[in-house]
Amino acid sequence: MKMEHKELIVIGAGPAGLSAAIEAASHGIKVTVYDENARPGGQLFKQIHKFFGSKEHRAKIRGFKIGEQLLNEAREKGVEVVLNATVMGLFAEKEITVMIENEVHHVKGDAILVATGASENMVNFRGWTLPGVIGAGAAQTMMNLHHIKPGNKILMLGTGNVGLVVSFQLLQAGCDVVALVDAAPSIGGYGVHASKLARTGIPFYLSHTIKEAEGDDHVTGVTIAEVDEHFQFIPGTEKHFDVDTICVAVGLSPMAQ
């Protein structure tokens, strides 16, 4: 198998990978980006809300617009983006194997940058494997990319920015969000996202978490209960909701597999 050579290899064409590729290309480095998906941009294309912060951080622009900007910038700078390309192995001497259209390529880089993004964390509770228990990111993909309602009556576990933003987008998609639940004693995300939701009247249950998801072959309800400072359930504090979907937004872990 012929070994190909690249100056800089970036694994992942999401916001981090594209930004790094643009930065390197601006300094005259020849960059090749590999991504296993059919289109680049990663998570940005399902993010329909406006970002805020500073101009440098692309405030007031919606995620999918930022994705388009990054792609155009990368193209202008001559970055090579190879899609449907799964990096299967990373070896000593900065060598990788990449599967492109059922063909394995062996590539060596002067440098390799890993920007493979993150996967959603899960929480184990009774019934957590039932159909209807999904990650908040999965719900966002269903709504904003595929235009499918993830469910009708939804409980959100987690009040970080992902939980807050996705809850608001669920409302925009016509879903009924019955409650936001978080084991922590305070809301994890930005106040601006939380207050937008609070104004809709959705209740927040802090210092609470899920005790069990109910249903035989899919979610039909959920019971939450209050937890003490050691995150142990307090007996007699159970609350029940009829739901068909439980969204879990309890953080991300790097995808380093």
Domains of the chain: 3-116 (3.50.50.60), 119-254 (3.50.50.60)
Instruction: Note whether 20 and 32 are within 8 A (CB).
Output: no
Higher-pLDDT residue of 73, 235: 235
Model confidence pLDDT, tens digit, residues 119-162: 899 999 999 999 999 999 999 889 877 899 999 999 999 999 99
- Could you write out the DSSP letters of every residue in the chain? -PEEEEEEEEE--SHHHHHHHHHHHHTT--EEEE-SSSSS-GGGGG--SBP-S-GGGTTT-BHHHHHHHHHHHHHHTT-EEE-SEEEEEEEGGGEEEEEETTEEEEEEEEEEEE---EEE-----BTTTSTTEEEHHHHHHHHHTT-----SEEEEE--SHHHHHHHHHHHHTT-EEEEEEESSSS--S-HHHHHHHHTTT--EEETEEEEEEE-SSS--EEEEEEB-TTSPBPTT--EEE--SEEEE---EEE---
To the nearest whole number, what is the mean pLDDT of the chain? 90
Model confidence pLDDT, tens digit, residues 71-113: 888 889 999 999 889 999 999 999 999 999 889 999 999 999 9
Higher-pLDDT residue of 192, 60: 192
Give CA angle at 163 (159, 168), nearest 5°. 115
Model confidence pLDDT, tens digit, residues 180-197: 999 999 999 999 999 999
Kind of pairing between the strands at 31-34 and 3-11: parallel
Among candidates 251, 70, 53, 63, which has minimal Cα distance to 169? 63
